[in-house]
C-alpha cells in the first residue's frame, strides 16, 4: 500500500497519519521522491481500516501497489533520468562505453587495459576484484588488492571505475574504490542487499537476473529507489533459456521495452549476453540500434590466458574495430558513441553541438 | 552415416556400393549436392560391416553424422547461398522486405496492402490463407479463396507472394499461388512434411520453431536439402522463454550465429518475435544491425479490426517510418534496403516517389 | 464465439440462425456434444450484430471463447471420460500400461516384446513405424512394413496397438493398424492435422508439446473434440527447460492440474519425460502417486543395440521390476495396475502367472 | 585444481607444497574431508608449473575440477550423509516433515501452528522472520521479533526451527534462533554468502535456485563443503519455465537424480514448487514416490488472511489429510513418515531412539 500525502498537508496532519499507523501496528516508510510525498506500508488494511485511513486529512490517495513498481515507472516520472559520473553524462544522447577484463589479474594487465582505453577515448573501465564463480575451485578474484590496482590504473589514465559488489558485507570495503557499483545477475533479487545499496552514495549498475522477468527487474530498481538511490542504470545481460548453444539468450527487446516502461537508462552487456567472442560485435550493434544507452564489454590483452571469461573477451584490437563499426550505427539512430563524442570535442569540433550539450 | 563417393569412381563402382547396401538391407538415399556425391544411410553399421564398406573402391570417406547437419553447414559449402525470386535477389547485399497482413481477410484489405507496398517499393507481400490458430474457435483463414485474392493482388501490383503451408495435404493446393512457401514455427520439426517440401520447386522460408535449438533448426534445413531443395531462407521469429511480458523472446544472436554456421540467408520476423507493435521497429533495426538478410513484417490497414494478430501489426504509416529509420542502419552495416536499392536502380520509376523522399 | 442453442428451439428457429450467419458471411460449425447444441463461429461480431443475433429465438447464450477451451473442460462435462479399447477400460480405476520399443525394428524384436508383454499381463504394445527424427540421417522407421509387423505381433499375443501418425497424409495408411493413434509432441499444434484426426474413428493419445502450456494442450484436445472425436487421452511427456541435464523436465504437476481442469484421462510417459533409464522407474512411481491414469514406457530386449532411444529404454527385466514397485504405490492412492487388475478378474487366465507372482 | 596429498606424506613434504604455492603466488585452501587431504587452488598452472608440482613428494594426484563438484559427489563419498537435529535423524529412512507459515506474523499465529504440529507428531516448524519479497511494498517479515516468536513457540512444543537467512550480515543474528538455516532460491548462487554459511555450526537447507541446473546446485553445496559444512540438505522447490500456469514447474526428476549423483539428502517443497494449494498434496505424494527424504510445506491457520503466500498454504486440516495420504505412499516405497514413526514410538522414546531404529 502507498499513501499519497497532499502537498498542502500540515505537519500536524502528517504526524496524525504516522501516529495512526504506529497505534495500529503497521510498519511504514516515508518517501519523498520526484515531487511526491509518500508513505509506503508493507501490510494490507482490512476494508474497515482502509476506510478510516483514507479519511485522514493528509491522505490524498491510497494505492495498492503490491505487484507494481511506481518510482521506477515512466508514468510517475516523465523525464528520463540522467546523471553525471566524473563529468560523463549517463543516460544522455552519447552512448557510454565501459570496457575491461572480467577480473583484475595483475598490475600489468589492468594498466595495459587502462592505457589502451584512454588511447581510444573510452571513459569507463570495468574489472572485478571479488568475482562470483560457479565453482569454489575457480579464481575468485584478487580481493582488496584488485580494488587498489583498478583504482590506481583508472586514476593514472583518467578513467572511472565500474566494479561489482557481491555481498552486503563488502559494500563498505568496495564502495570507496568504485565510481559505479555493479549488482550482478545472481544478486538482482537479494532484496536485503538492494536496500543497503539504496543508501550508498554511488550510482548502481543493476544487471538483469538471468531468470528475471521485466517487472521483477524494475521492482529491484524500485527497492533501490525507495531507499533513496536515484542513480540507477539497468543493464540487459542475457537470460537463460532452453537453447544452450550460447551461454545466454540476449533479450534485445528488453532494451526498448524498459525504456518504454521506465525513465531509467538502459545499458547492454553483449559479452555475458552471448558468451561467444564472435557474437559480441553484432550484438553490440543490435543493442545500439534497439536504443541502448551504453555498452559494457569484456576485453583482455590476452584472452587465451585470462583467468576467467576468456572465451567471451574481445582482443583489444577487436574492441577498436567494434567501436569503428558501432559509430555509424549510433549515428543511424541519432546518437553518438561517448568516446567519439569526446575525442571529436577535444579538437573544438562543432559537429555534435547537441550531443556536446547533453554530455556535459 | 554418409558415404562420400570418389569423384573419379566409375558407374560400376558406385553400382557395387548400392548392391552391397541392398543386399545388407540398409535403406539409403543418393545425394549430389554442392559438388559432392553422397550416399546417406539411416542405419548404423556394425564395426565389421563398416570395415567392409569403407574398403569398396568407390568410397572415399565414411562419416557418422547422426547428430550433425552437413549440407546446411558453411564448412561443406563455402559460398553463401543466393537465389532470385521473380528477379529479386535473396541473400544478396540488399535486405529483402516482406510485409502484409497476418491473414488475407478480404479483397479490399489485400488490395489496399498490395497497392501500398507497391507505392513504397516493397517487392514481397505476405498473408495467410490457411492459418494455424491456437483455438478452433478463432478465424482459420479464408482458405482457397484467400489464396486467389493474394495472388490477384500481388499480380496487380507486381509483387511476389509469401504464404504459409500448414499441412502436407495442402502443398499441392497452395504451391501454385506462392512464390515463397513459408513453414511456420509449429511445423519446423514435422519431418515428413519437410521431406515433401524438399521436393517442391518453390523456395522455402523456414521459420524457427519457438522451442528449437540452433542445431535443430539447421537440421530441419538439412531435411529440405537432402530432398533436393536448395532455395531455403532461415527466419528467426522469437523463442519461448520464462518471460511472458512479450509474446516471444527474439533471439537476435541467432542471426549472426546461423550466418557463422551456415551458408543460408537469414531473415528476421520482429512482428512475431515480439508480439508488441511498439517493439517491432527497434527490433527491426537491431536485426539489420546484427546482419539479417531480410525482414518479415505484419502490417494492416486497420490493425484494431484485424481478424488475427492485430496487436503486433503495424499501421501502414508506421511501416513507412520503419523503412525510413531502417535505411541508415542498413547503410551503417554496408547494406541497403531492397526497396531503396530498387528505387536507386530504376531511375525512371515513378511509383516510389514518396519512399524515395523518405529514405534519403 | 459460441452460440448455445436452446434445447427447446424448433428446427425452424435453428434454421433461422444458420440463414442469418450465411447471409452475413460468418463461417460456422454445428456441434452437438455432451448434451449441448452449439454453433461455433470463427469470426467476432460487431457490437451491433452481436445484439441482433442474441435476440434470435433459438439463441440461449452467446459466449466469447476465443482463448478458452470448453468441450475439454470439467465445467462443461462433469463426468470423467472413460472408454474401452478392445475391452480394456481407459480412464477407469485401473492404471493402463503401454510398453514397447521406440521403433519397430524387426519381426524378431517386436514379437519378443509382444510375447514378454503378454507374459506380464500388459494389454497395450507401442512401437513406431514412421518415426519423427531430428536428423534426416537417423533411422526413420520401417514404414508400412513396421505397421504390419506390430499388428501381427499384437494379434498373436492379444495386445492392442498404440502407434504414432506423423502426418495427415499417413492417417489413412496407419489408422487401420492402430487401436490408439498417437499424436507426437512435435505435432500437438498442427491444427489442420488435428482436425483430420478428429474425424477418425480411433482413440487419440495426445502427447503434450515440449513447449506447450497447459491451456494450449487442452486447446489441442478441443480441436479434436469439435470435430467429433471424444476418445482422447492426454499424455504428459516432459517439457523443454533451461536444464539440459536430462532430455526433458517432466512436469508432474500437469497430471493433477489437467485432471482438475478437464474430464479427459491423463497418462504419463516417463521415458521421454526424462530420457534417462535410471529415472524412468522413480518418475513412473511419482506419476502414479500424482494421479496418472496410465503409463507409456519404452522397453527393448536389447537397449544398447536399439536403433533409436536406446538410452532411455528399459530392459525387459527392469520393466518387470517397475511393475512390482508400481503396484503398491497404485494401491496407496486407491488404484490398481491394469495388468494386476486383469489377472485378478480373469480367474481362469493362465497367461499371467509370472507377473502375478511378482506383484504380490 | 585440486592436489590430492598422499596419506603418508610427512609434515615437511606438505609444508614444501605450501611454500611452493606461496612462492609462485597461487592462492590455496587446505581441505581434509571424508578421509582425503586436499589442497584446492583457484588458478590454473601452466604446463610447466604443473609438471613441477606434480613431482613434489607429497602430491599423489593433480585434478582439474574447474567445472565439477567432488566433495558433494557420491563417487567421493559412498555412504549417504545422515545427521541428527535435536535427536531427529535427517537423511534416514523416516521422511522428515517440516511445516509452518510462510512468515511469522504474530504470537497467536505461530503458537497455533506449533501446537497443531505437536498434536500431529511433526518435529520441525518453519517460518520466515526476514522475508525475500519481489516488491519493497510487500510485507518483509517481523525481523528479530519474528525470530523470538518462532523460537518461543518451537520450545513450548518441542519443535526444531527451520528459518531463512537472506543476507550475510544477518547470519549472526539469525543463527542462534535456528536449528536448520534455510538458503532461499534467490541466494543459491551468492557464493560469498555460501562461504560464510559454510563456517556456521548449523545444518543448511539449500533450496535450488529457480534457474539452477543440477550441477550448479551441487556446486553450491560444494561451496559449503569446502568451508567445512557437512550437514547439508538439498531441497527441490520448482524451477521457472515457459509455462506460467503454475508458479513454478516442480522438477520431480531432480530428486532421484541428485540422489544418484550425491550422498546428500534431498527434500521437496511442493508449496513453492507449485504455488497452488490443490496441487500440493499430489506433488507431495509424487515427491515421496520419487525418493524424497523430506517434505517442506506451507500451512496457515487462516490462509486467506496470510500476509504472504496465502494461495499456496494448506489449511491445517488439509495438511492432516495430506499426512494420512502420504503414509501409505511412503510405505509403498519402503519408507515411513517421521511423524508416524514418532507417534508409534512416543511411548519409549527418550531421545528419539526409535527413529534411529526405524531407519534400519
Q: Return the closest-CA partner of residue C306 out of C316, C296, C321.
A: C316
d(CA C249, CA C241): 7
Secondary structure (3-state) at B73: strand
Quick check: A357 pLDDT over 60? no
C283 touches chain D (CB under 8 A): yes
Among residues 78-97 of chain C, which lie with CB inside 8 Å of chain B?
A: none
- Nearest Cα neighbor of C39 from C4, C76, C77, C75 is C4
pLDDT score recorded for residue D26? 84
- Between residues A136 and A112, the one the model is more confident about: A112
pLDDT band at B67 (very low <50, low <70, confident <90, very high): low
Pairing of strands D2-5, D59-63: antiparallel
- Please check the confidence at residue D81 and state whether its pLDDT lies above 60: yes
Please write the tens of the pLDDT for every residue from A39-80. Answer: 888 777 788 888 888 889 999 988 876 668 889 999 889 999
Identify the band that residue A36 occupies on the pLDDT scale cut at 50, 70 and 90: confident
Distances (CA, A) of D311 to C297, C311, D108, D240, D246: 35, 40, 21, 18, 11
Task: State pTM to two decimals.
Answer: 0.90
Average pLDDT over residues D137-161: 94
Chain B stretch 118-137, residues whose beta carbon is closer than 8 A to a beta carbon of chain C: 130, 132-137
Which residues in C lie closer than 8 A to residue A240 (C-beta atoms)?
Answer: 242
The mean pLDDT of B246-273, rounded to a whole number, is: 97
Task: Find, in chain A, the residue whose alpha carbon is nearest to that of B211.
Answer: A242
Query: Which of A158-167, B48-57, C150-159 is predicted with the least confidence, judged by mean pLDDT?
Result: B48-57
Phi/psi class of residue A178: alpha, beta or left (left: φ > 0; alpha: ψ in -120 to 50)?
beta
- Name the neighbours of D, counting chains with at least 3 Cβ pairs within 8 A: A, B, C
Residue C20 has a CB neighbour count (10 Å cut-off) of: 16
Q: Is the pLDDT of residue C358 over 80?
A: no
Cβ-based contacts of B325 with chain A (< 8 Å): 333
pLDDT, greater one: A324 or B66? A324
Best-predicted range by mean pLDDT (A130-139, C97-106, D6-15): C97-106
pLDDT mean over D4-31: 89
DSSP states along B258-273: HHHHBSS-EEE-HHHH
Q: Which three cell numbers stand for residue C76?
A: 462443461
Give dist(CA B129, CA B101) in Å, integer. 11
Cell 480394456 belongs to which residue? C88
Residue of chain A nearest B328, judged by CA positions: A332
| Cell triple for C121 | 499381463
Taking an 8 Å cut-off on Cβ atoms, the answer to whether D135 and A187 are in contact is: no
Lowest mean pLDDT among A278-287, C250-259, C267-276, C345-354: C345-354
Helix (H) or strand (E) holding B84: strand B83-85
Whether residue D271 has pLDDT greater than 80: yes
CA distance, residue C133 to nearest chain B CA (Å)? 7
Please, which pLDDT band fits residue D346 given cuts at 50, 70 and 90? very low
What confidence score (pLDDT) does residue A51 get?
Answer: 87
Write the pLDDT tens digit of every residue in B200-235: 999 999 999 999 999 999 999 999 999 999 999 999
Residue C188 has pLDDT above 60, yes or no: yes
**Count of CB contacts below 8 A, C vs D?**
126
Residues of chain A with C-beta less than 8 angstroms from the C-beta of C249: none
pLDDT of A355 over the 50 cut: no
Cβ-proximal residues to A114 (8 Å cutoff; 6+ apart), any chain: A125, A153, A154, A156, A157, A159
Mean pLDDT score, A186-192: 94
Q: Which residues, in sequence order, are CB contacts of B117 under 8 Å at separation 6+?
A: B99, B100, B124, B125, B157, B159
Averaged confidence pLDDT in chain C: 90
C-alpha cell at A104: 583484475
Neighbours of chain A (3+ CB pairs under 8 A): B, C, D
Quote the pLDDT of residue D66.
61
Average pLDDT, chain B: 90
CB atoms within 10 A of CB C335: 21
Closest of B161, B72, B180, B164 to residue B123, by C-alpha = B161
- % of chain D surpassing 90 pLDDT: 72
Q: For A20, phi and psi rounded to 5 degrees?
A: -60, -45
**Contact yes or no for A192 and D42 at CB 8 A:** no
SS (H, E, C) A331-359: HHCCCEEHHHHHHHHHCCCCCCHHHHHHH
Residues B185-197 have a mean pLDDT of 95
Do the chains contact at C253 and D257, CB–CB below 8 Å?
no
Here the cell at position A199 is: 543508501
Going along chain D from its start, the domains and CATH numbers come out as 2-63 (3.30.70.1140), 83-358 (3.20.20.70)
Report percent pLDDT > 70 for chain C.
Answer: 94
Q: Chain B neighbours among D 210-249 (CB < 8 Å)?
A: 240-242, 244
Nearest to B164 by CA among B149, B182, B141: B182
User: Taking CB atoms and an 8 Å limit, are B252 and A283 in contact across chains?
Assistant: yes
- Mean per-residue pLDDT, D28-54: 82
Q: How far apart are CA C269 and CA A317, in angstroms?
A: 53
pLDDT confidence of residue C67: 61
Any chain B CB within 8 A of the CB of A8? Answer: no
Rounded average pLDDT over A221-233: 95
Residues of C in Cβ contact (< 8 Å) with A242: 240-242, 244
Q: List the subunits that have 3+ CB pairs under 8 angstroms with C.
A: A, B, D
C-alpha cell at B110: 489485400
Which residues on C lie below 8 Å from A244 (Cβ)?
Answer: 242, 244
Element (H, E) at B83: strand B83-85
Higher pLDDT, B344 or B312: B312
**B59-63 and D314-315: which strand pairing?**
unpaired
- pLDDT at position B35, please? 78
pLDDT band at D277 (very low <50, low <70, confident <90, very high): very high
Q: How much is the average pLDDT of D105-117?
A: 97
pLDDT score, position D67: 61
Query: Torsion-angle region of residue C100: left (phi > 0), alpha (psi -120 to 50) or beta?
Result: left
Asked if pLDDT for residue C349 goes beyond 50, the answer is no
Residues with Cβ within 8 Å of C333's Cβ and at least 6 positions away in sequence, in order, are C288, C289, C291, D285, D325, D328, D329
The answer to whether B4 touches B38, Cβ cutoff 8 Å, is yes
Say yes or no: A54 contacts chain D, CB-CB below 8 A.
no
D212 close to D237: Cβ distance less than 8 angstroms:
no
pLDDT of residue B342: 53
pLDDT of residue A139: 83
Amino acid at each position: 500500500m502507498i499513501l499519497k500525502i497532499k502537498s498542502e498537508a500540515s505537519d500536524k496532519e502528517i504526524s496524525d497519519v504516522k501516529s495512526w499507523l504506529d497505534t495500529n501496528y503497521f510498519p511504514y516508510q516515508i518517501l519523498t521522491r520526484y515531487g511526491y510525498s509518500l508513505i509506503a506500508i508493507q501490510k494490507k488494511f482490512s476494508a474497515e481500516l482502509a476506510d478510516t485511513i483514507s479519511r485522514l486529512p493528509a491522505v490524498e490517495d491510497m494505492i495498492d501497489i503490491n505487484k507494481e513498481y511506481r518510482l521506477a515507472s515512466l508514468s510517475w516520472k516523465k523525464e528520463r533520468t540522467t546523471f553525471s559520473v566524473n563529468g560523463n553524462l549517463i543516460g544522455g544522447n552519447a552512448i557510454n562505453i565501459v570496457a575491461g577484463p572480467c577480473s583484475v589479474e595483475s598490475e600489468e594487465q589492468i594498466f595495459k587495459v587502462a592505457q589502451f582505453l584512454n588511447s581510444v577515448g573510452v571513459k569507463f573501465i570495468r574489472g572485478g576484484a571479488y568475482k562470483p564463480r560457479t565453482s569454489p575451485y575457480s579464481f575468485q578474484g584478487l580481493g582488496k588488492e584488485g580494488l587498489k590496482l583498478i583504482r590506481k590504473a583508472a586514476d593514472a589514465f583518467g578513467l572511472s571505475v565500474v566494479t561489482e559488489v557481491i555481498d552486503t558485507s563488502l559494500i563498505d570495503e568496495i564502495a570507496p574504490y568504485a565510481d559505479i557499483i555493479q549488482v550482478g545477475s545472481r544478486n538482482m533479487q537479494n532484496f536485503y542487499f538492494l536496500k543497503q545499496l539504496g543508501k550508498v552514495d554511488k550510482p548502481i549498475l543493476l544487471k538483469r537476473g538471468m531468470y528475471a522477468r521485466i517487472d521483477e527487474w524494475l521492482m529491484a530498481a524500485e527497492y533501490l529507489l525507495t531507499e533513496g538511490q536515484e542513480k540507477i542504470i539497468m543493464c540487459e545481460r542475457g537470460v537463460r533459456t532452453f537453447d544452450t548453444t550460447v551461454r545466454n539468450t540476449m533479450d534485445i527487446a528488453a532494451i526498448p521495452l524498459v525504456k518504454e516502461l521506465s525513465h531509467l537508462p538502459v545499458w547492454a552487456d553483449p559479452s555475458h549476453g552471448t558468451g561467444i567472442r564472435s557474437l559480441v560485435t553484432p550484438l553490440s550493434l543490435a543493442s545500439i540500434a534497439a536504443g541502448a544507452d551504453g555498452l559494457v564489454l569484456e576485453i583482455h590483452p590476452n584472452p587465451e590466458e585470462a583467468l576467467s571469461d576468456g572465451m567471451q573477451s574481445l582482443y583489444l584490437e577487436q574492441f577498436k574495430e567494434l567501436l569503428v563499426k558501432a559509430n555509424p550505427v549510433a549515428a543511424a539512430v541519432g546518437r553518438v558513441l561517448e568516446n567519439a563524442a569526446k575525442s571529436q570535442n577535444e579538437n573544438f569540433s562543432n559537429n555534435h553541438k547537441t550531443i556536446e550539450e547533453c554530455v556535459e
